[in-house]
Amino acid sequence: MMDAVRLAIIGGMLWAAGAAALVFGVLPPGDALAIGERVWPILLFVVAMTVVAELAAAAGLFGVCAAWLARVSRGHGWLLWGLVFALAAVTTAFLSLDTTAVLLTPVVIAVARANGLPPLPFALTTVWVANTGSLLLPVSNLTNLLARERLGGIDPWQFAALLGPSAAAALVVPAVILALVFRRSIGTRYTPAAPPRVQDRPLLIASALVVGALLPLLLAGIEPWIPTLGAAAVLSACFAVRARRSLRPSLVPWQLVVFAGGLFLVVGAVEAWGAAAFTTAVAGGGDDLADLWRLAGAGAASANLLNNLPAYLALEATADTPVRMAALLIGVNAGPLITPWASLATLLWHQRLVADGVHIAWSRFALLGAVAAPLTIAAAVVPLTWR
């Protein structure tokens, strides 16, 4: 809760700074209107997807899926971990990295504990996959939605064609590192626990049907906010009939909306003031492997110093070709593994970790991330040169 309040406070400060830029003429009104026109569909998608994911979690959809994976694994720790990894990757690709970090983390912790396995390897898997697995589709990450619009509104299939091999590499490298680091904890046998009790089966079925119908619609090439808003409306109607108390104002991520809106204004003002020369000097301008590594590295370093969203916005102007845009996304999506503030998903993940009584020192988190992030970025950029 405290992280959410801080996010809202920072967002309010950003809005004040953006308003000052408008008043003093740093940001022309026309530019501010253009920013609003660009951003509103993206923020509407984020709000609608958050509502869908939260209600699906409240219906028990993620818990049932994870418990089913534990039964399918038949007591083999490696198989369960692999299936959890796959579930996190699919959830991230279609329902966004925040869904994986916030909603899947407590589920996999509960499943690990119920089956007598240490929860930390499974919890760390969710946050790493949430970040590195968010390259495949436009809806996987807010930065992807911004990049899709910058690339002329390419459809999800074209986006996946551009980043598909890189997305695969960005998953394989963390998987190998996690498997090596936690091989003793994961490679054990367990006795499968009894499945969790479903509180409201009709709501569970409705949630499964809505999410199942939403996934292919996100690949249909229409604006993502349209089917997602429809899914949120249908699920909200179901909960209004079956569990009205679950429909609470906190379902809407208003803190993120305030933060993102203010951030877009401030970055727009900085660009209008003239920051392009500096970012170009930092990120280079070529499409060869060295320059792509340079751009991805700049994105990763900026994300770990600031946050992945301002890092993307600051470097977006330097990503003037599809391949360079892909390299930037690799840096700002797969790179935020070192500092806790590098992505909002990591902060929210840690909040859930503390709530569930799982501890990892930030020093250990940073050390593991400092190994994983450069290797992941280096491997993921290489496929961009195969074109």
Residue 267, pLDDT above cutoff 80:
no
- For residue 133 the two structure tokens come to 């697995």
Give the pLDDT of residue 278. 59
The model's pTM is 0.87
pLDDT in tens, 142-167: 899 999 988 988 999 999 999 999 99
Comparing 56-65, 108-117, 191-200, 287-296, the range with the smallest average pLDDT is 191-200
With CA atoms as reference, report the closest residue to 364 among 340, 382, 380.
Answer: 340
Residue 382, pLDDT above cutoff 90:
yes
Q: Binning pLDDT at 50, 70 and 90, where does residue 277 land?
A: low
- Give me the percent of the chain exceeding a pLDDT of 90: 45
For the chain, the average pLDDT equals 88
